[in-house]
């Protein structure tokens, strides 16, 4: 988690409810390329949607039960970070907006 979002990320359960936060966490941890089981998501269009890093998806806009949105990109076969050349999934949060939508 980038430090820019750390404060609001830790507030997520108190802002949207523990169950909604857990559903989002489970979604990005297990199935970031599929629609969430609860709530809605869509692949964004336009300039903001373009992958920001090689191998990453377009920006996914995920609604959290009417409480706001989180935009992210994912790479199912990243080789960055501590794992070195071992491939693993990575989700990068681009925006968190828990205000009125």
Q: pTM for this structure?
A: 0.86
Chain-centroid distance, C-alpha 99: 17
Please state the rounded mean pLDDT for residues 37-56: 91
The pLDDT value recorded for residue 91 is 92
Q: How far apart, in whole angstroms, are the C-alpha atoms of residue 19 and residue 24?
A: 9
Task: Check residue 68 and give its pLDDT.
Answer: 84
Q: Is residue 100's pLDDT more than 60?
A: no
pLDDT in tens, 76-87: 988 876 766 778
Residue 73 CA from chain centroid, whole number:
6
């Amino acid at each position: 988690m980038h430090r820019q979002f750390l404060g609001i990320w830790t507030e997520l359960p108190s802002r949207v409810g523990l169950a909604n936060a857990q559903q989002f966490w489970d979604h990005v941890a297990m199935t970031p390329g599929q629609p969430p089981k609860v709530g809605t998501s869509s692949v964004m269009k336009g300039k903001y949607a373009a992958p920001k890093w090689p191998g990453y998806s377009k920006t996914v806009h995920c609604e959290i039960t009417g409480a706001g949105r989180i935009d992210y990109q994912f790479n199912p076969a990243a080789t960055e970070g501590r794992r070195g050349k071992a491939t693993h999934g990575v989700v990068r949060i681009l925006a968190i907006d828990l205000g009125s939508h």
